[in-house]
Structure formats: C-alpha cells, structure tokens
Structure 1
Amino acid sequence: MSPPYSYAQKKVLAIFNLSATNIESMGYNGEILHTLISSIETDKSIELMPRREIEEMLFRSEIVLDNSEEAVIKAGIALGINFVLYGEVTKKGPMIVTRLNLMDIEGKTILNTWNVVFQDRDSILKKIPKITEEVSTALSNWKRSSGASTVNETQLSPSIDIDYLNVANEGNSVGLSWKTSTQSSSLSYNVYRSEHSDGHYQFVGKTSDCFFKDSTINKGQSYYYKIGILPENQPEIKSSHIAQIRNAGQRIPYPPLVMGAKGYIKRAEIKFVPSLKNGQEFFNIIRYNLYRQKGANDWENIKTIDSKNMFQTDSIFTVIDESGLKDGTDYTYALSSTDDSNIESSLSDPALVFIAKAPVLSLVTDNLLRKINLSWTFVQNASGYYVYRKTENISWEKIADIAESITTSYSDEKNISDGKQYFYRISAYDDKKESGCSNEVKGKTKDLPGFPENLQSQVTAAKSVTLLWAAIEDPDIGGYNIYRGVDCNNIKKIASIKNYRSNTYLDKGDALKPLEDGKNYIYSYLEKGEAVTPLEDGKKYFYAISSFNLFDAEGQRSNCIMAETK
C-alpha cells in the first residue's frame, strides 16, 4: 500500500551503499547513508532513485557492486541513471572519515568529491545537509548545461515530466503541488483523480499554475492523483508519477516522531515519541501503526500496537519488528497514529535500519594433526557465534558456542579423526535471535603418517639384526613400530620407538622388559609369561616398519624385507 502522504519523482540520482573499510566503521556507514538519503529525499530538487528499485534492477542485471569506478559506471548504465553518489567510511580513533564521490555516468567522470570528518551522530546530522546542498547545486548545473531544464517553445521533448507531486489535506479540500523540470510559462496542466492506483483516472480540473485545490472530494475517501502536462500547441504528456492521499478533506492526527532505529540479528528496533500536537488538538490516539517499505511509494503495515500496551522508557516508546527479516538487508520503517475515530495520520519521517549480516566463514589452515582452523567476519551487535560441523555421513551438529563477540576464530579439535574431510558453517546470535548460517567451508585433517623410506638390514653380530631407515622429519610423528616374522604374511609387532628422529633398531630377540638403546626405548610386545627368546643363528627373518602419530594412530606398514642371521 502507499503511505498516507507521498510524492513521486523522476529518477536522476542513485545512491549506492557506502563501504566500511574497517571493522570499527561498520554501522557508521549505514547511519551516514541513511542520513544522506533522508536529507536528499527532503530536497525536492534532487530526483532520487528508490533503493529497492536499484537493488531489483542490479539483481536482474546480475551486477555485483564494488567501490571501483568501473563497477559504478557499469551499474549506473544498467540503471539508466545520470549520476551515482558512492563512497567509503573509515573509523580512525574518534574520527569517522568519509569520502563521497559524485559520478557522471554518461561522461564517466567524477564531478565532485567530498572528504568529510564526523565526530559523532550529531556531527553527521549537522554536516550532511551541507553536502545535500552541494549535490543539488552540481545537479542543477548539469541540468542547465545539458538543456534538461530548458524548453524550446516550438519543439518540446516528449520526455518532459514533473519532478515531484505533493498532496495534502487543506480543510475540506485536497491541495496538490508539483514542480516541472522546465521554467517555461507556456505550460498548463490537467489534474486527474482515481480511487485506485491503476485507474480509471478522471479529469477534475485544469490550471496554469503548479498547484491545484480539489474541492470535489468525498470526505474520508482515499484518492490517487496524476498530472497531464500541456505544452503550447502540442499534445498532452501524461506524467508517470502518482501520489496518494487517505482520509481526504478530514482533520487527521499527527504521526509520532521517530527518535532512532537500530538493526540487530533478524530484528529491528524503532524508538519514537507521540506527537504533542495530538494532545493539543484533542486527538485521542488509540494505536500506532508500523510500516515497512516494500518498494518505491509502497508500504506494508506490518504491526499495529495498542497505545496502552506499549513498552515505554523515559517517555520513549519502543516497537520491534521480527517478521521475515533477512540478514544483511536494509529496511525502511515509518509510523502513523490512529485516533479513536479510526482516522490515521500520515507517515512519520522514514528510518533506515540495517539488519546484521550473517558472518562470512573462511578456512584458515587444514591438513593439521586432528585440528582445523577457522575464522570469520565480525558481526555488529552480536553476543557470540555458533559453530556447526558435518561429515558426509553425519548431518549438521553444533560443536561450539563462542560466547565472545570479539572472538572471530576457532580451532576445531573436538572428536575429529585423521585424514577426514569436515564441513563447517557458523552463525551469529544475540540475546533474542540467531542469524542465518554463513557460507559453507570444508577442511581436511592430516592423513595417517606414511611409513619411513629406505628400510634396510645389517647383520654384523651373531643372534642379532640391525635395522636402518630414513627418519620422517615431522614433529607430528610419535614414533615407529617394528614388525618381525618368519615370512611376510606372518609378522607381529615386536617394538615401538617413541622418537620420530630415530632411524635404527637392534633386534636381539624378544624380551619382557624394555631395553635401552641410546636415547630410544624399545618395548617388548610379547605375550605374558614368555621368556627371553634370542634370535636363532643362520635363520631368515622378515621385517616391516610403520609410523604412528602423536595420538598413537598408526599408518600403513612398509614393504617387507629379509635379513639372515649369522
């Protein structure tokens, strides 16, 4: 639905999101953007393209914005816009450093750049109107130089349109006012009215001025208005703009005053105070209506609040919206008042809210010993993060609750195996809501260790065999297992060496007690009760070796080699 009071306008300028160059500036970029849009919308000389229309057209064109001049020009061409205002915000200590660029899309040049330093919210509110004034001047100069505001008396461009159309109650009538992009005095206008936005529009009057009073209304009715432009000696040009008014000709209450709005995780909070004029003019307000903008001039009433049941702190009312909000999305809200005669006010000034983004997850390092390192982007106003994990055989499960919002990294060492692939997602949460999950990343733990290369045997003394191999230079190796048998198919573990740098073992036979061999300790794996059993003379023995990691998980055994004692 359209708001109770609205105006329509031609689209010349588009404002793109301001990028935050560091974590500290996140949030300020949205606040500056909202203030800038609000200021420009109040300056009727600037013809602004609605944000939702920008988003929809860029989405259909499959254009992804960044802050480069090339991307801005490409997007501006796709939008069919004349100018784009874009920039970035950086927080440096107490200073909020902002750079704004005004890009001429057709000329592919930056017309003006503003480098502004804000100290706080009050500073933003004070300085933005000056920027708006300078933007307006730049656009006006462009119009004059391009001929957009001049009219050839003998040949008027068929693309002429009005810049904006205002409608408002004036006693028992509806007052209309508008502005055209030409200064010609030879224009006149037809005024049309309908009870439905899509028509049928009926002629209600003609004027040579840029204002008109409609006294033929039915009090309390909703109407839609359009203007037809009549150049001298030329056919009528129908304006594409529509403006709506509700409760026409009635004395209506005043909207509340929005004091602030803030976005959280899937939640928006709007604070407002009632208008003092309602009490002064004896309007008994029974409820407030929260609207959320769906598109240009299109508002949805998403919540109605009984004025007696509102949560109130220090004379400020708070209303919360949690209905279908998407992560990382801008929403524009406005409020109205309804009195005990069921008459609704016009909408308040709009308030822009940015809903927190879901975190963006990254794999930092994998191929580690039973550990995978993750990191993610900081989420403004979050209380913490949940880490989720799954494998190909096990569905998603929550494995960690990071209860500190400033923590943006996690090492997963919880019940994970060697050489296995894991999938991860993360969400942010506050005391009310949990965000949607981040993008999915995958990581793999380190494989089980391979066997040492170049296993060899030496026989230099009776009843013994010396084994040699190339030690694996990996501190994740816990050591080596030695195997022996009478053939390659019948071998068993005879010793375990707890040092990854060891590269030799002297086999004298089986023993119950550990034998010290230099700095290495060799442990018997004989069954209980067996006696010391030396190797036999002149007998063939078969050996293999494997590695195990620091968790004693063993890898594959080497090929078997043969050694014959003296």
Structure 2
Amino acid sequence: MQRRIAALCLFVMLLVSTTALADDFKTKPKLAFYPLVAKSVEAISFTEAISTQLFNNIERTDYFEILERKKVENVLTQNAVTLTTLSKDALYNVANRAGFDIFVVGSVSRVEGASLIDLQVVGSSSRSSYYAETFRIPEFETPKKLQEIAEKIVAKVKGFNVGPTPPPPPPRPLNLTISGTPKSIKLKWSPLESSQVAGYAIMRANSPNGSFVQIATTTKPGYTDENLKLNETFYYKVKAISKSGIECEPTEAFVGRTSPAPLPPIFMEIKSDLAGAQLNWYSRSYSGSDRNLITNGFQIYRKAPDESEFRVIAKVSPSAVSYTDSDMKNGVVYSYALTAYNPEMVESEFSSILEARSAPAASDIRAVGGIRKVQLSWLPNESKSVEGYAIYRSKGADQESKKVGQVRGRSSDSYLDSGLEDGVTYWYSIAAQLEKGETPKSGPVPAATRQRPATPAGLTASDNEPRRVTLSWNGVGAPEDEIRGYYLYRSTEKDGEYVKIAEIPYKKNSYLDEKMAAEKGSASKFGSLIGDGTRPLSDGATYYYRVSCFNAAGSESLPSETVSATTRAALPSPRNLKASSGLPGKVTLTWDSAPEFKEYEVYRGPVGQNQVQRLKIVKEPFYLDSAVVDGGSYIYAVKGIDALKIESAISTSVTGATKPKPAVPGKVVVTEQDGKKVVLWDANPEKDVLRYVVYKKNFVGIFQKLQTVYGTYFHLDGLKGKVELKIAAQDQDGLESEKSEVLTVDLK
C-alpha cells in the first residue's frame, strides 16, 4: 500500500512538471539575426541600411524574442564559423548548440540597379526546418519589399513547429550499495541535488540481462524491497527523473540477496534522565555453528520527528545490553530501533520500536523583557547530579544560540541578562550543568526588550532674545524610573553636526541656552569670555536644536524634529560721537542718547596706534576727560550697555585734543637804556598771551618767580652781582610756556 501511495505521489509530481514544460513551449521562439553582409563593393554603401530595416521589421512583428547581436557573434566565434562557410548543416549545428530557435543570415549584392538579397533561415528543432530564398528588390520598392520579407519569414517559421530545446536529462545516481536481510533487500545511493530531480525509479529483474521491471518510485536516495523470502536473489537498476519528467539512463545492474541473519534483540525499555535516554534490551541466544546466525554486534537506530528514515547512531559489542543516547534535544520525542548483525555484517530485521523524550534541564522557564535586559526564572531540577545552569541566547528561535552566562548551584532559579539592544526579541534556552558536561538545552522561550524611549514632541525655541534662546518641549509621559532625563543638541547649520549642550533632569522640560564653547580667537571677536571658559551666543545668529530623552539604562530616543531660533541682532553703536579740541587741560565728549542703553563705556587711546582702553562707565551721553596733558591728542570711542549688561558694537572713533602751552619767549637779551640795563625779548605769536613771568635763580640753584610783567622787557634795577634769569609766557587761560634759555647778567 505504501509503495502505491509513493508511486502515485511521484506520478503527480512528474505530471505537474510535464505540464509546466508544455507551457514553456508556448513562449516566443528565440531568433538570432546576424547583420547582412555586402558581397560586392557596390553594395557596401546600402547593405547596413537594408540590414537594419529588415531587422526592425522582423522585431515589429512581435513574434520572436530577438537575441543580442553580440551573443550571436560570440557563438560564431566559439564555433569557428564564418558567413562564407554557413551551409545548411553548419547553420543547424550552430543554432542547436547555442540554443537558437531560429537563425537568420544573408548577404546583399548589386545587380543592374536593384538589390539582390540572399537569405537563409534555419530552425533548431530539425534539419528539415530550413528555408532559403533570393529576393530581387528595385531601389524604389525597398521599404515595401523588406516588410514583405519580414512577414514571409514569420510565415515560414510558423511552419517549422519551433519550440525551445528540451532540457537535458538528470545525471545518473552514483555509489549504489545493496545489503540484504532475511526478508528484505536495502538499496542506497548518493542523493542528487533537489533542483535536478523530482524522484527516482527502481527497476528489478531476476537476472543481470533479464527484463527489468519498475517496481517502485521514491523521492529519497534509498529503497527497501520488503516481504521477500530467504535466499532470494534479484538484480536492481535505478534511474533519476527530472522535474520535467525526463529520465536518465539507468545505472548498471547490481545484485542483491536476502540472507540469513541473527534474530533481532528484545527491546525492553528506555529510561530517560538528564544524561539522555538509556536503551535496554536482551540478546537472543544462539548455540549453533551457523555463522549467519551468530550475533557479532548490535546497531542502534534513531529517528527524529523531522526525519523520514531511521539512521544508525551507534554500534555496540555483542555483549552489550544497554546504550545511552546523550545527544538529544530537549523536549524532542525520538523513535529507536535495534538490529543484530552477523560476522558478514548482515543485519536482522528491526526490533520493536520504542519512543523516548529527554528529561528537561529546568521547567516553567519564564523570560521577562525590560530596559536593555531580560529577567529569566525557572523551576530548578531536583536531580542531585545538577551543579548549576548554563544560559544560552539567540535572536531567533531557529538560530544557533550562544552561551551568555551561567549560575552555580542546583537550587539556582534566576538569571539577569543585561546590556542588550533596544526593541529586540531574544530567545533563551537553559542547560543543566553536570559533573561531566551539560544536558541538552531546553526549548527556547522569547522575551523582548523595551523599545527605545519615545521621542519628545512640541519642541519650541524663542526668537529675538539677547544672546540666548529659551527652549521648551512636552514632557514624555513615561514612568520616572524609565525616563531619567533629556539631551539637548545644537548646531549652527540645519544639516550640520549637532553637539550635545545639556543634560536636563526628567522633571524639567525647558532650558535657557546662553553659553557656547569658546573658539580660538573668540575673546577678541566677542569680548571677554565667561568665567567657565565659554562665551555667550552670538548676536543675530541662527541656531538649530533637537531634543531626545534617555532612560535608566542609557537608551536614547530618536531626536525630535529640528527647530531654529535667531538671537537678537547686535546692538547699534552709539551715534554722533564728538570730541572737543583746544580746551585747556581737558577734552569733552558728547554723543546721541539711545533708549536701549542704560550705561555707556568710554574708551581712549593714543593717536596713531588704533588701540583704545576703557576709561569709564557713565550714565549720561557726556564725558569730561581731564586726565590729559596740554597740547595732547587722543582717540575716543564709546559702547552702549543695555539693561542685561550686553555691550553694543564700539562706535566710530573720533580725535580730541587739549589746548597747547604758549611758545617759549625768544631772543632774550640784555641792553642799556638811559644808562640802565634792561632785559628784552620778542613778543609771543599767540594772540591770547597776556603776560610774561621772570624767573631768577636763587642761592640753592632753583629758578623762582621774580616778577610778572605785561610787556616784553624787564628792568634790572635793584639787582646786584651775577644774576641768572629765565622768561616764560602766560596766556589768558593761565597756561604757561616752558622757560627760556638762561640769561646771565653781571651787575656791578
């Protein structure tokens, strides 16, 4: 009955494959068109145009699948064929080897004002599928005639009954082996790739040259010919069948015989524990001398639920009465059978078949996902041989797992797996650790870590604030033990690099951004740095912001949408600064008042050096600089300061100067007038000089003021001895010139 079902299944598979192949014959024929060749010098100029037009006409019929010209050329080259040697047989051979359904070649020549076209068309299905004709085309009828030729080619090809070249047969099965038991003959061979075959047919005969009859089909690389009699001999052949229903040549004939063999052992029981499954049996005793019935050993067979046949997992000695299978997957039910074999390796029939399942390493395994962690728990195994548990993890139920940890002690019942990825499902298995090795792993249980935190929403940024930006966002509605805070990022370009500027506690959802890391040269460009080495935001600058949140494990959400804000433009510098010139001992400064300024910062520097230093902060738009020298010139500039102590840009500089001292009186001389000696000097050029001061050197060598005069002379009456004098001029503002050179007079 099983043979009939298998044969019916294979027949259905072959029928489906054959139907699919029939559908393939309905596809378009593959046509290879090689451009026409000029047979004369006169034909060279128009051959390419005729070839191209004919090719296009054939293609427009939409009857063929046109192959690329390059592929056609490669085929001709590989077959060492030229167009001059393309006979009917050569065309057929090339088309058949290359898989062309239709092959078209030809030549063009010029005869008495007309084109002469020789065409050959061959189909690969048979040598009788051949058509050749010569066409004479007057020049004025070329387009029309070429269209007729294309239609004629289609009509001829339809008569060829062309179809795709049938696929080759599958390869023959290899490495066929045959063994016999008292009631069956077993055949095995090397499996072929599943893409090559749909199944195998088994044929049997009574002699190597007899008539082989198909007795079965199978999809497996093996077959057991059962229900035979002892000492029967048969010959077998096997052939593969493709999915297209094509059969290969059968293998050579192989002989198989049923043979005497020991009786199978009595399979008593299977005991399962953590170490695996222990199989126990009794051997059937034999006291005779027939070698065929002597037990020389036992073979252990096992089959898992996903396996179609039993396979040998062990061979043991004839004295063995038990075997432990320790290579079992946890929770899987296995089927076992035993055979006895004689010195000639002839096996008995199968014993009875028993089933077993390995004992679980642990039970009630549970996995609960958390923030980048999974908490595992289980009921420990009560076996005293358990020394601990090994934890295995994978990212898929069918993926290979790796050991990620272990816990010692038979009573251990939990394990925390941390440092995991966000939003990933992990699969866990547990194996019990024994003195020697581990038990099979338990069936995997899944647990998913939490997704990364939700992205904060509602981020806003205020515009037009002085050197700062106020940001706010909606708090993430999550437990405080999960969300620990927010990260704020800033960039000077929307698509530029975003730098983390702040870490904000969970309960706060706003931030005042007013500091930036100092750049090289920023002190001179932006003024003094803040005490912590930062500087304020720039005036009139646009900044871009994103916010994210993070949880207790450091998992960060995706960043929010980007928002931007522009700081207030730089404060205008004070306008219309003016500085006085010519005032004695002072320079006065005035400028326009501005409502945005609460204070003003006055700067001064020497003329010609273009550097100024701060003098004073004043409340009003006026300043009197008295810390000056007579005749000095100075550069002045002013900054405005608003209520937030933010300074404006510095004003345009102006120059102020004090009134200079009078010139030193010149040409100081002594002369006599009316018998009296008089000191004379030139009048000063300054119009506001009112008087002159006469200085006399005293006995300690210091010039002291002797007298003030309002003319340009001084009488020496009343002075005696050697006298040393100097003269200085004074103007109306009391400015006094430097003293003249010493005038020495000897009065007797």
* Structure number with bigger Rg: 2
Work out whether the TM-score is over 0.5.
no
Structure 2 length-normalised TM: 0.29
Give the number of the structure with larger relative contact order, counting CA–CA contacts within 8 Å between residues 6 or more apart. Answer: 1
**TM-score normalised by length of structure 1:** 0.37
